[in-house]
């Protein structure tokens, strides 16, 4: 089943070659949603400011290519690392809180970073976006107009990091996380120090988010304030809930459904496509509780 | 023999059919915060096509609209790529916002597609693709002219600048201030408002405390101009003692309606107003009203003139749409627009137009921008400086 | 400055108090709360602009319109999701926000709305050497009146007692025979109606356009979080603190701009995670 899924992701190269840029952006969004799933679906940390790490990775990669060198892979690694560092630092604050306070804190920190980026327009280019981002070819392949290199790159990184995430989830560390999510007070009693675990997963999620951000910068040669925006954090949350949180594939499925729907609706009705997205979301909640994957698994259980 | 001729006659239209349509990909922010601006741009396009038909140089014009949703250069770039690769458009137009225009410029340059910027006003955009022209306005073009005018013709010595804290705000502030100072004026202070700021009372109070001779304002359209106008009235800023100078967006139609008498005597510099008194504009406004039930604004005229530039260029190239031919024909294009005389600068490919100085006055029951001075044929000063740097 | 911030705070209070109480009472995440505000706003716009109603007369209708919409929405969609997860509730209500934003753009266009104000609400009133904007005085009066009425209702009426019980401990309240569902429906209507009133009042102060629900959602959430769920006094205090610090910040430290409101929120939440007057 899973192998079939990953083979299917190669289909766009052959079946829909003119949609590769969209496919690339879907892969990037899926990666971002995956990183959110690690903290939300598995560790129970609801964040409305996760785009902070996405954007931090994006700007790092952009600034590197503008001022130093445009080699994509090093930019990717450095972007992810920078975001991870930010994640590590903020995790000390974040993990102490729960419920609404946690949500609002993540929101607040995300908004603060976005404001800072806007003010520091000498560095970030402000609302106009960063100018002069030029990418060197990736392993000899130029980033072309059709988006072939872009999609291959994004897909490869998504696959790799997905494997990493899956390893983490199935490890003892991952089980401990799920235990924390279920009952935060009991875990220390079994000997699993919960705050340290949460900080660790938060940092890992930040690294992955940063990688996604760097990918976006590199595949589109643009970065603007939008990568740090509340809108991007909120989109990731919606996508994850849509697909089903805590199921590893939820973010990916959600990203595919949401972004394809958005692209199609906005093509059909450029001014009011919002409406149809809203209807889609309401319908999914009413008929598929716990997201698409949750609803599907519930359906599969019914015959028994 | 007859059969061969008949077959050929039937085959010919089919063969030529493929080249009979010219596709224009239009990228606008039709949803989200900037939806109204994009709607007005689209209305301008539709009005032009209604007035001038949808056929040029024997070919049909087809508009493919795409929504970018807001400042999202990654989306804009992808949509532009798809338009070029999938829909096989012949040219790209629209662009409500600067970051989107900048991103798409890369696609225009790489794919060698003619590109018409119908709104985005940041100066450097024009340098990003050799196949691009602009038919809207640039901020330095208006604001530096205004700064010079304020210090010279209006005889103002002091100014306090208040702008919104984002790209265009910074650009406007820099342009106005540099020209004002160069012409002998003094900037006594400045402040920047956060982007979605709803309440201006605090900022206006700060300005009032300094009691400057004049205040320069740059804020985007929408709800803000009205809120600012109210704040100024509340704080009791006396417009006789402190001249209020603003950009055209500050006194756009909706803003004037909301500000009411608070708008009186605000002086603005801009390139277009729907009340302009010439035959072309009156016809434009009439058709616009009939089609869309509201008045056009500078968003509409940018798009309207953009379409005009496209049509005239196509007439010159006799329907050839490749980038090289189009840009060669577009350079130096001159025409009479509802806003006055327009030209596409042959070297910089940017817009050259008259800048009007207007004052808000009560005409009948409405408050309108009444022009009382004009600076003709202004080129984008930032573009001119770039030219000199290269020499 | 204090005065202006206080007036802005009153507006935030009216917009947020409904969400705070319903969130505290039923734990239902209603992100579409600001859509109710928009209903009120657009009702006023239609009545005042198209039918020429005087502004004050439109306010009760704005309240009732939004309240009615709240009840309809609650009866049809929301009540099926009381047992659902927080995340699902988020998704549903965000979907409703999207639908409402598109609907408003469709019916009213994307232009910013404004309504004519009666002359006694314009201009300013001089007092003790300073001038106070008449409209802000009006806002403060309304805010205080609503807050007082709500607290009175909560403390002195039986309905209020039921609501308080339901907020404190829903299971116990049901066990005592209190019809929690009915109490919730009325509270929800009340909260929605107040949001509608806030939306109508916001037109003059901050403007109304089709994306209002999204733009102001963040501020409303901040007030609710900082104030504490289920607390009227909390919403009031938080709204005032945020309104005043926003104003004062912009006056004394304009270079901080939008930072200040977020910094204040982060600081307050770190100090008191349950909110100023929150429980649990």
- Are the beta carbons of C77 and C84 closer than 8 angstroms? no
Which chain C positions have a beta carbon within 8 Å of B193's beta carbon? 250, 254, 257
pLDDT at B16: 46
Tokens of C187: 């509270």
CA A253 to CA C23: how far, in whole Å? 30
Residue B39 contacts C, CB cutoff 8 Å: yes
Chains in contact with A, counting 3 or more C-beta pairs less than 8 Å apart as contact = B, C
Q: Is residue A7 part of a domain?
A: yes
Of A220 and C77, more confident: A220
The answer to whether residue B43 scores a pLDDT higher than 60 is: yes
CA A128 to CA B122: how far, in whole Å? 9
Taking residue B207's Cβ as centre, other Cβ atoms within 10 Å add up to 25
pLDDT at B6: 53
> Which of A81-85, B120-124, B238-242, B282-286 has the least mean pLDDT?
B238-242
User: How far out from the chain centre does Cα C134 lie?
Assistant: 22
Tokens of A98: 């729960």
Instruction: DSSP letter for B183, please.
Output: T
Provide the pLDDT confidence category of residue C214 given band limits of 50, 70 and 90: confident
- Cα–Cα distances (Å) from C249 to B218, C254, C266, in that order, read 21, 6, 15
Q: Is residue C60 part of a domain?
A: yes
Which chain A positions have a beta carbon within 8 Å of C97's beta carbon? 278
CB-based contact B195 C209, cutoff 8 Å: no
Provide the pLDDT confidence category of residue B89 given band limits of 50, 70 and 90: very high
Domains contained in chain C, number: 1
- Are the beta carbons of C175 and C165 closer than 8 angstroms? no
Which residues, listed in sequence order, are joined to residue C1 by a DSSP beta bridge? none
Q: Is residue A249 part of a domain?
A: no
pLDDT at B222: 67
Residue of A nearest to B39 (CA): A271
Residue C207 contacts B, CB cutoff 8 Å: yes
The 3-state secondary structure of C194-231, one letter per residue? HHHHHHHHHHHHHCECCCHHHHHHHHHHHHHHHHCCCC
Most confident option among A138-152, B14-28, B134-148, B230-244: B134-148
Q: What is the pLDDT of residues C178-209, one digit of tens each?
A: 777 777 788 888 888 888 888 888 877 777 77
CA A89 to CA A236: how far, in whole Å? 22
- Are the beta carbons of B69 and B32 closer than 8 angstroms? yes
Of B208 and B223, more confident: B208
The contacts found for A19-23 with CB under 8 angstroms, 24 or more apart, are A19/B82, A19/B86, A20/A146, A20/A147, A20/A148, A20/A150, A20/A151, A21/A146, A21/A147, A21/A150, A21/A151, A21/B77, A21/B78, A21/B81, A21/B82, A22/A259, A22/A260, A22/A263, A22/B78, A22/B82, A23/A147, A23/A151, A23/A154, A23/A155
The answer to whether residue B141 scores a pLDDT higher than 50 is: yes
Residue C215 contacts A, CB cutoff 8 Å: no
pLDDT at A192: 53
Q: What's the whole-number mean pLDDT along residues B262-273?
A: 89
CB-based contact C95 A281, cutoff 8 Å: yes
Q: Is residue A289 part of a domain?
A: no
The answer to whether residue A303 scores a pLDDT higher than 70 is: no
The answer to whether residue B5 scores a pLDDT higher than 60 is: no
Residue C270 contacts A, CB cutoff 8 Å: yes
pLDDT at C124: 66
Residue of C nearest to B223 (CA): C207
pLDDT at C280: 47
The answer to whether residue C241 scores a pLDDT higher than 80 is: yes
Question: In this complex, which of B39, B67, B122 lies closest to A128 when CB atoms are compared?
Answer: B122
Which chain C positions have a beta carbon within 8 Å of B205's beta carbon? 1, 251
Q: Is residue A253 part of a domain?
A: no
pLDDT at A131: 80
Chains in contact with B, counting 3 or more C-beta pairs less than 8 Å apart as contact = A, C
CB-based contact A290 C88, cutoff 8 Å: yes
CB-based contact B67 A270, cutoff 8 Å: yes
Whether the complex's predicted ipTM surpasses the cut of 0.85 = no
Q: What is the pLDDT of residues C11-45, one digit of tens each?
A: 888 888 888 877 777 777 788 888 888 888 888 88
Domain range for A51:
2-228
User: Domains of chain B (ranges plus CATH)?
Assistant: 2-137+278-349 (3.40.50.2300), 140-270+355-390 (3.40.50.2300)
Among A270, A272, A275, most B C-beta atoms within 10 A, so best to mutate, is A270
Question: In this complex, which of C94, C106, C221 lies closest to A281 when CB atoms are compared?
Answer: C94
pLDDT at A186: 58
Which chain C positions have a beta carbon within 8 Å of A277's beta carbon? 95, 98
% of chain B at pLDDT higher than 70: 94
Q: Which of residues 47-76 of B touch A (CB under 8 A)?
A: 65-67, 69-75
Residue written as token pair 């996380």: A177
pLDDT at C257: 67
Residue A108 contacts C, CB cutoff 8 Å: yes
Residue B244 sits at φ, ψ, to 5 deg, of -100, 120
pLDDT at C222: 87
CA B108 to CA B111: how far, in whole Å? 5
**Total CB pairs under 8 A between chain A and C:** 115
CB-based contact A279 C81, cutoff 8 Å: no
The answer to whether residue B183 scores a pLDDT higher than 70 is: yes
Instruction: DSSP letter for A144, please.
Output: -
Residue C114 contacts B, CB cutoff 8 Å: yes
Burial, A8: exposed, middle or buried (Cβ in 10 Å; 0-12, 13-18, 19+)? exposed
The answer to whether residue A298 scores a pLDDT higher than 80 is: no
Q: What's the whole-number mean pLDDT along residues A59-88?
A: 90
Domain range for C204:
2-117+132-271
Q: What is the pLDDT of residues C129-186, one digit of tens each?
A: 666 677 777 888 888 888 888 888 877 887 777 777 776 777 777 777 777 777 778 8
Q: Which of residues 83-122 of B touch A (CB under 8 A)?
A: 84-86, 98-99, 102-103, 106-107, 110-111, 122
Provide the pLDDT confidence category of residue A93 given band limits of 50, 70 and 90: confident
Q: Is residue A53 part of a domain?
A: yes
- Nearest-CA distance from C123 to chain B in Å? 6
Which chain A positions have a beta carbon within 8 Å of C99's beta carbon? 274-275, 278-279, 282
Of A189 and B47, more confident: B47
Domains contained in chain A, number: 1
Residue C81 contacts A, CB cutoff 8 Å: yes
Q: Is residue A73 part of a domain?
A: yes
Which residues, listed in sequence order, are joined to residue B270 by a DSSP beta bridge? B356
Residue written as token pair 């129970």: A44
Residue of A nearest to C274 (CA): A101
Q: Which of residues 180-199 of B touch C (CB under 8 A)?
A: 191-199
Number of residues in chain C:
280
Of C81 and C140, more confident: C140
CB-based contact A19 B82, cutoff 8 Å: yes
Tell me what the pLDDT averaged over chain B comes to. Answer: 87
> Which of A145-149, B49-53, B186-190 has the least mean pLDDT?
A145-149
């Amino acid at each position: 089943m899973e192998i079939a899924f990953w083979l299917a992701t190669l289909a766009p190269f052959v079946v829909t070659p003119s949609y590769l840029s969209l496919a690339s952006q879907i892969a990037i969004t899926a990666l971002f949603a995956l990183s959110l799933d690690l903290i939300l679906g598995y560790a129970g940390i609801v964040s409305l400011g996760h785009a902070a790490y996405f954007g931090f990775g994006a700007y790092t990669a952009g600034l590197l290519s503008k001022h130093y060198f445009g080699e994509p892979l090093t930019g990717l690694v450095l972007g992810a690392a920078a975001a991870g560092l930010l994640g590590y630092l903020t995790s000390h604050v974040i993990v102490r809180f729960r419920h609404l306070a946690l949500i609002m804190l993540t929101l607040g920190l995300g908004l603060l970073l976005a404001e800072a980026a806007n003010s520091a327009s000498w560095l970030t280019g402000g609302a106009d976006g960063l100018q002069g981002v030029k990418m060197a070819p990736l392993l000899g392949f130029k980033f072309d107009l059709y988006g072939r290199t872009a999609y291959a790159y994004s897909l490869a990184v998504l696959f790799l990091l997905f494997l990493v995430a899956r390893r983490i989830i199935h490890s003892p560390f991952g089980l401990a996380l799920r235990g924390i999510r279920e009952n935060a007070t009991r875990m220390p009693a079994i000997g699993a120090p919960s705050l340290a675990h949460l900080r660790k997963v938060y940092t890992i999620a930040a690294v992955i988010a940063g990688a996604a951000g760097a990918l976006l910068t590199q595949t589109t040669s643009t970065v603007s304030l939008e990568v740090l925006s509340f809108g991007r954090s909120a989109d990731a949350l919606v996508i994850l809930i849509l697909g089903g949180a805590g199921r590893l594939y939820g973010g990916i499925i959600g990203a595919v459904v949401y972004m394809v729907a958005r692209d199609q609706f906005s093509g059909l009705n450029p001014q009011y496509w919002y409406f149809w997205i809203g209807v889609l979301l309401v319908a999914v909640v009413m008929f598929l509780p716990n997201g698409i994957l949750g609803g599907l698994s519930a359906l599969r259980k019914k015959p028994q | 023999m007859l059969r061969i001729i008949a077959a050929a006659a039937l085959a010919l239209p089919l063969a030529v059919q493929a080249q009979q349509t010219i596709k224009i990909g239009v990228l606008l922010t039709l949803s989200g915060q900037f939806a109204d601006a994009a709607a007005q741009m689209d209305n301008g396009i539709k009005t032009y096509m209604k007035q001038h038909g949808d056929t040029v140089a024997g070919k049909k014009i087809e508009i493919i609209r795409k929504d970018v949703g807001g400042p999202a250069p990654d989306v804009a770039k992808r949509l532009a790529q798809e338009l070029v690769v999938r829909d096989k458009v012949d040219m790209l137009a629209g662009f409500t916002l600067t970051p989107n225009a900048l991103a798409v410029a890369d696609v225009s340059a790489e794919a060698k597609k003619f590109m018409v910027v119908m709104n985005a006003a940041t100066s450097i955009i024009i340098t990003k693709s050799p196949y691009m022209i602009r038919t809207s306005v640039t901020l330095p073009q208006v604001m530096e002219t205004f700064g010079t005018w304020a210090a010279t013709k209006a005889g103002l010595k002091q100014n306090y600048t208040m702008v919104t804290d984002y790209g265009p705000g910074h650009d406007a502030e820099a342009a106005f201030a540099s020209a004002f100072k160069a012409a002998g004026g003094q900037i006594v202070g400045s402040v920047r408002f956060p982007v979605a700021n709803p309440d201006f009372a605090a900022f206006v109070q700060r300005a009032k405390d300094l009691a400057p001779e004049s205040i320069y304002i740059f804020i985007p359209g929408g709800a803000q101009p009205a809120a600012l106008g109210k704040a100024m009235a509340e704080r009791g800023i006396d417009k006789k003692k402190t001249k209020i100078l603003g950009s055209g967006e500050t006194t756009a139609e909706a803003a004037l309606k909301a500000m009411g008498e608070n708008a009186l005597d605000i002086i603005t510099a801009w390139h277009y107003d729907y009340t302009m008194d010439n035959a072309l504009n009156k016809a434009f406004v009439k058709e616009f009203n009939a089609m869309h039930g509201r008045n056009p604004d500078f968003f509409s005229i940018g798009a309207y003139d953009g379409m005009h530039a496209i049509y005239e260029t196509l007439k010159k190239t006799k329907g050839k749409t490749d980038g090289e031919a189009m840009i060669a024909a577009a350079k130096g294009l001159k025409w009479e627009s509802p806003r006055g005389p327009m030209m596409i600068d042959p070297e910089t490919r940017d817009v050259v137009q008259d800048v009007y100085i207007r004052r808000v006055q009560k005409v009948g029951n409405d408050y309108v921008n009444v022009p009382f001075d004009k600076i003709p044929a202004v080129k984008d000063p930032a573009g001119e400086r770039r030219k000199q740097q290269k020499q | 400055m204090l005065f202006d911030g206080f007036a802005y705070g009153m507006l935030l209070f009216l917009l947020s108090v409904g969400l705070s109480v319903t969130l505290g009472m039923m734990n239902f995440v209603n992100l579409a709360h600001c859509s109710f505000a928009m209903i009120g706003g657009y009702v006023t716009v239609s009545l005042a602009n198209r039918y020429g109603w005087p502004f004050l007369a439109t306010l009760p209708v704005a309240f009732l319109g939004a309240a009615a919409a709240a009840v309809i929405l609650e009866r049809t969609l929301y009540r099926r999701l009381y047992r659902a997860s927080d995340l699902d509730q988020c998704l549903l209500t965000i979907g409703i926000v999207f639908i409402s934003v598109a609907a408003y753009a469709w019916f009213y266009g994307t232009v910013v709305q404004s309504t004519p104000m009666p002359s006694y609400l314009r201009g300013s009133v001089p007092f003790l050497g300073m001038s106070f904007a008449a409209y802000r005085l009006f806002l403060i009066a309304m805010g205080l009146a609503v807050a007082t009425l709500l607290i009175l209702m909560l403390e002195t009426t039986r309905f209020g007692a039921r609501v308080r019980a339901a907020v404190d401990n829903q299971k116990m309240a049901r066990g005592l025979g209190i019809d929690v569902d009915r109490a919730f429906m009325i509270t929800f209507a009340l909260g929605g109606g107040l949001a509608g009133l806030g939306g109508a009042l916001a037109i003059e102060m901050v403007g109304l356009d089709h994306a209002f629900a999204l733009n102001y959602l963040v501020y409303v959430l901040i007030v609710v979080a900082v104030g504490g769920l289920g607390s009227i006094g909390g919403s009031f205090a938080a709204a005032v603190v945020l309104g005043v610090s926003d104003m004062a910040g912009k006056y004394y430290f304009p270079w901080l701009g939008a930072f200040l409101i977020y910094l204040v929120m982060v600081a307050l939440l770190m100090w008191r995670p349950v909110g100023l007057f929150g429980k649990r």
